[in-house]
Structure 1
Amino acid sequence: MTRRVKEWAVSHPVQYVVHELNHKKQDYITTPPNICATCAYRGKHSVMVERIAIIGAGISGLLACKYTLSKGLTPIVFESQDEVGGVWTKTIRTTKLQTPKSLYQFSDFPWPPSLVQNFPTQNQVLEYIQSYAHHHGLHCHIKLNTRVISLSYDGPPEGEMQTWTLWGGTGKPFGPKGKWKVTVQDTGSLYTEVHLVDFVMMCAGKYSDFPNIPEFPQGKGPEVFEGKVIHSMEYSAMDNASAAKLVQGKKVAVIGFQKSGMDISMECTSANGLLQASSNHVLCYTGQNTGICLILPWGVPLAYLYQNRFSELLVHKPGQGILLSLLATFLSPLVMNLTTLFT
């Protein structure tokens, strides 16, 4: 058989199913659970099947899924939420795209002409991302409500792997000596599966389900504050009415000046009115520049400098040549000074 599906039961309520792909040029005889039969069938094309696990179905995960499909590989995407879209599935009501939409789009899937706003709302961005997944037929490769709970490599000993200078010890991403073991759990039924794959792509992003809370010295953290302390992720998870009730008529300090801090500040103003919010609401940040003015004096947004192919020259990369190293060395301070000057 080209696919071996081993099933066995263990103590309730956890069950395990191991899915493994055989590397042979044959037709699929059976389709394992939750895998689209159309996508599983490869036999008539006589291709080598390599299975890729992609963790996360946000923008990066969807792009990775489409790209691996274009290379003739077999991706399976694990997403813990009940819909695709990543961070855009759990932002607050007033959130808008803070980058011109022309700089925030898929290269092969432009924004619809009917959308005239330059800074789309959260719902519009989420609909755009989900339309991209539908347009390219990615949903049959995505397992929603599926959380990755462990990841391990079943192959050569660690000592041998440390001697490798490139993937798999062969210079190729698919080594012949081992597989990745990805254990996932259905968030509703707690049913557990183990998937054996050839390669893993981490696309969970920096805005995962775990809040980034700084460490404080003993007696100087949130525990000494008599009021309510919540993380922006907790606030974003509230419905609109609960969020408005939380901040209405209260003195609110927002710590941090990145995107979520600015959005929550706007929510506080909306819930309390501009006059009351000016006396009851304070935004605290450590930087010397606000970062609000993103337009150069001649009317060009700074985003056009950062968010394009040119910006790749600003970053040092392993194995790059002397010319690229010099460009990154000289251009990085230039952009930093422009940002400081005009923000």
Structure 2
Amino acid sequence: MSVTAAISSDVRNFADESKALGREHDVFGLLSPVRFFWAVISVGYIFIQRVIIALFKPRVPKPGTKPKAYNGRIAVIGAGLTGVSSAAHAAAHGFDVVIFEANDMVGGIWANVNSTSGLQLNSILYRFHPAVLWSRGFPLRDEILAEIARVWTEYGLEPRTRFNTPVTSVRRVKSAGDEEDKDPNKLGHARWEINDGAEGVFDAVIVTVGTCGEPMMIRFPGMPQDGSSTPQDEKHSEDDDVFRKPILHSSQLDSPDAGDLAGKTVVVIGSGASGVEAVETALRRGARKCTMVARDDKWIIPRNFLLDTLIAAQPFGREMPLSGVWEWFIKKWHYQGVEGLVPAHRGLFEGTPVVNDAFLAHVRAGACEYVRGDTRRLTAAGVLVNERPRGSKPGDEGKERVLKADVVVLATGFHKPTVDFLPRELFPEGYKRPDLYLQNFCTEDWSVLMTNSSYMNGIGTVGHFHIGIYARILLTLLLDRSARPAPKDMKLWVDAVRFVKRGAAGGALGFFTYMELTLWLVMFHVFRPDRLRWCVVSSNAVVELRGKGAVADGGVECFTGFSSSCRGGGCIRRGCRRNE
């Protein structure tokens, strides 16, 4: 999106809101200085992004040109947000990239959600690539997909993408180098073949299958045996206790199967982010009432950039004595009037919170009823649940109740994508997802990076600049033999984190905050001072590692995106010289 288009979008939204307030004769809302203040902030946000782009955006390869030689070849599995961003960074730094995508379009999970789905975090915390330009703080699906496609196109990834090509195997191949180079235990690195090897040999593999795969359609008793969700009552007796009205997954609320929700009662099974969003979508489409069945309470925090950033800034990703301060503040401010929905047995830093402003307001207004309980079955009338009091746990004794429904929405999430195509020896006992080096590198071989594919739970830990940093760390390891960690060192890192965070709910690496992730990446360089040079400079053109130095053809680009050039046959980094 261009700056002009982004600003035009903000002005148009402001004008539409003003017209709506005018029609409602809401003079105070129309002339509210707060509304004008946020309008100015929105336009200012766009200019701030332009500064970020100017400073950090990797140089775009010239269309139709290829380097004299590539630094290496990288296979990227998945053309979602993370895959496109990782591939763009690699292509910008002189690597040959091939993206393998099982479907027929880019976008990943964002291509399979409702049009009303938006970011759970402010977009300032969701800059998956430095070139991204958002029009608002919480963009929706179509804008997110448009930005993914724009980065994909701008960095020339279209001819490098193999659509409808699911990856079924990743195999280690023997190197043409010496014996030491074949053995990762001696700081060499493996080479890889994808599927039948038709695309050649790769120096590294970036697995970006994410954490959300196919929709998880859990079956409950009382659902049609044939899977049909359309009325077929004429085929059954009146005593047939089967729900014959629409049954949808939360990702299908935009589909024709959803039909007209106006005036209908919708029961949403599930209380996670997709459940909260399903309630919002159903009410926006005119549903008379929504009922959410929550098997377990989850924290809901407001869409407030400052508050969300401060929460994500806790450096120790687990419950701490001062965590109660945040919980008390959110309870008193955000949960005012609905304090009964505050989780009784779950701390704020023990699971991924839902970021939403509207849901609790719907509960306060009576538009949505929150029922804590276990779903027993579907009936002809709706959903039979075991309703439980606050403080109870799933499966505890409660009281049976039938929730009448015209539509049932299964907000039951998505299947976790498998990584069975990777060799099993990459994941020895005790070092399976998410217990990986820096939570994303396989401890047996650093040339397999799994950005965002081992994520379990966290606060503010997806979609941000760490995608590019992980990608550039991988490029550094490919270019600089001395920077590579040995398997024993990677396992030691995992063991150290598990020791420091022992007792953490969900495991040491099962939950982390963005500040914690940032500290991991900082320590990666600080504990190995020889890597610090790559924080300052990395090659932007063809780089050949010779000994402990690199030979650059043309200019060099800083790791963070700043660019410079060789002057007088020398560069600002020792060991880097112009390739005459």
Q: TM-score, normalised by structure 2?
A: 0.37
In the alignment, is the contact (CA less than 8 A) between 1:294 and 1:301 conserved in 2?
no
Q: Could you tell me which residue of structure 1 aligns to residue 326 of structure 2?
A: 338
SS in 1 for 2:282: helix
In the alignment, is the contact (CA less than 8 A) between 2:78 and 2:207 conserved in 1?
yes
SS in 1 for 2:121: coil
Q: Could you tell me which residue of structure 2 aligns to residue 100 of structure 1?
A: 122
- The answer to whether the aligner puts 1:170 opposite 2:182 as a matched pair is no
In the alignment, is the contact (CA less than 8 A) between 1:222 and 1:229 conserved in 2?
no
The letter of the residue matching 1:141 is R
The letter of the residue matching 2:292 is L
- The answer to whether the aligner puts 1:205 opposite 2:210 as a matched pair is yes
- The answer to whether the aligner puts 1:232 opposite 2:250 as a matched pair is yes
- The answer to whether the aligner puts 1:180 opposite 2:168 as a matched pair is no
Structure 2 distance, partners of 1:95, 1:119, is 10
SS in 1 for 2:259: helix
Structure 2 distance, partners of 1:66, 1:193, is 22
Alpha-carbon distance, 1:206 to partner: 0.5
* Alpha-carbon spacing, 1:267–1:108, altered in 2? closer, same or farther (3 Å): closer
* Alpha-carbon spacing, 1:301–1:147, altered in 2? closer, same or farther (3 Å): same
Q: Could you tell me which residue of structure 1 aligns to residue 259 of structure 2?
A: 244
Q: Could you tell me which residue of structure 2 aligns to residue 136 of structure 1?
A: 155
In the alignment, is the contact (CA less than 8 A) between 1:294 and 1:342 conserved in 2?
no
The letter of the residue matching 2:185 is G
Structure 2 distance, partners of 1:91, 1:196, is 35
Structure 2 distance, partners of 1:332, 1:68, is 39
The letter of the residue matching 2:272 is Q
The structure 2 residue matched to 1:254, chosen from 268, 271, 274, is 268
In the alignment, is the contact (CA less than 8 A) between 1:85 and 1:126 conserved in 2?
yes
Structure 2 distance, partners of 1:53, 1:133, is 15
Alpha-carbon distance, 1:99 to partner: 2.1
Structure 1 distance, partners of 2:202, 2:324, is 42
Alpha-carbon distance, 1:138 to partner: 2.5
Deviations along 1:200-259, one digit per CA (max 9) or x if unpaired, are: 2110101123x4467xxxxxx6134422655435x26x63x33234x5665433222222
Structure 2 distance, partners of 1:56, 1:290, is 31
SS in 2 for 1:130: helix
SS in 2 for 1:265: helix
The letter of the residue matching 1:60 is T
In the alignment, is the contact (CA less than 8 A) between 2:107 and 2:145 conserved in 1?
yes
Structure 2 distance, partners of 1:272, 1:56, is 36
In the alignment, is the contact (CA less than 8 A) between 2:172 and 2:193 conserved in 1?
yes
- The answer to whether the aligner puts 1:284 opposite 2:293 as a matched pair is yes
Alpha-carbon distance, 1:146 to partner: 2.2
The structure 2 residue matched to 1:81, chosen from 84, 103, 114, is 103
SS in 2 for 1:97: coil
Q: TM-score, normalised by structure 1?
A: 0.59
- The answer to whether the aligner puts 1:69 opposite 2:91 as a matched pair is yes
- The answer to whether the aligner puts 1:124 opposite 2:137 as a matched pair is no
Report how many aligned residue pairs link the two structures. 244
* Alpha-carbon spacing, 1:155–1:252, altered in 2? closer, same or farther (3 Å): farther
Question: Is there any run of 5+ residues in structure 2 with no aligned partner, and where?
Answer: 1-62, 224-241, 332-580
Alpha-carbon distance, 1:77 to partner: 0.7
SS in 1 for 2:153: helix
**Rg larger in 1 or in 2?**
2
Structure 2 distance, partners of 1:263, 1:282, is 13
The structure 2 residue matched to 1:267, chosen from 243, 260, 281, is 281
Cα RMSD over matched residues?
Answer: 3.6
The structure 2 residue matched to 1:149, chosen from 168, 182, 203, is 168
Alpha-carbon distance, 1:66 to partner: 2.1
In the alignment, is the contact (CA less than 8 A) between 2:117 and 2:140 conserved in 1?
yes
The letter of the residue matching 1:87 is I
* Alpha-carbon spacing, 1:52–1:102, altered in 2? closer, same or farther (3 Å): same
Structure 2 distance, partners of 1:167, 1:132, is 36
SS in 2 for 1:53: strand
The letter of the residue matching 2:250 is S
Q: Could you tell me which residue of structure 1 aligns to residue 392 of structure 2?
A: none
Identity %: 22
* Alpha-carbon spacing, 1:270–1:198, altered in 2? closer, same or farther (3 Å): same
* Alpha-carbon spacing, 1:195–1:154, altered in 2? closer, same or farther (3 Å): same
The letter of the residue matching 2:291 is V
Q: Could you tell me which residue of structure 2 aligns to residue 223 of structure 1?
A: 221
The letter of the residue matching 2:280 is M
Question: Is there any run of 5+ residues in structure 1 with no aligned partner, and where?
Answer: 1-36, 157-163, 185-191, 215-220, 316-328
